[in-house]
Structure 1
């Protein structure tokens, strides 16, 4: 308690949101509560700045967000292997929409650059069945009517600028959209 009878209150970053906490509540926060108050304030400031930066990038059409995911593109078109490599170098992977919201977020970038985009999935050994790059089965799909129809010859997936998908050979150049 402050000598004048007032509680000391500090701004603290608590994983996903800002909270006002009194010092006695820090012990319930685990390791973050043990940090020096200046470090906690620095973390809160950093989170605020990152949030603003995300807003600027979204405004410029460089990124789009869906849930906890951020999707980004540099606007370059490359083959599938190069797209995957560039995303991995940046610390992400190729965008692989798992629901309508994520599909719309990737679509925003495809429209922004007016390019078809590669998606992070490939046809499995079983013709007509597609898997995410981590090997799990694709559950959400948004195929263009009568697709996929590559019959094992078109192993990659592209997104059209209307948000629907098509199976495609992996050597054509498409927009690289990364997921983080």
Structure 2
């Protein structure tokens, strides 16, 4: 009878220990943690967090810049698609495909450029994906700023052109 009670108490203690060890975990990218992910989908409940709901109507996604850095940056749909393609290229690289093999299978020039960019970066597939997305967003920002500068230069040229025409007309009228 004594051994039966001892076995019963041991089973009760072990089962209660398993319940306390089975805490809620959240999947954030490729890692698991005991706190919810910042600005990401709650994979435990399968629904977005409040910050992800705020961005649901836009064409951009908020993603943490680095795993330790909580400052978000915006990724538009084109850059996200480019990052996903880079991740797939990186997966093929990790299983042994060479750069030349992938270049021979590429259909167009942008894909070949992406393959060159992926093979020039080091790190895991997630690191390379994030680098490609960030460089795409930086390029889009540079293009946007260049377009603004070009627009401002055209306006300035038009304004200067109209004043120089007036000055030329005034000087020709004063000489007559």
TM-score (norm 1): 0.25
Q: Greater strand percent: which structure?
A: 1
User: In terms of Rg, which structure is larger?
Assistant: 2
TM-score (norm 2): 0.25
Q: Greater helix percent: which structure?
A: 2
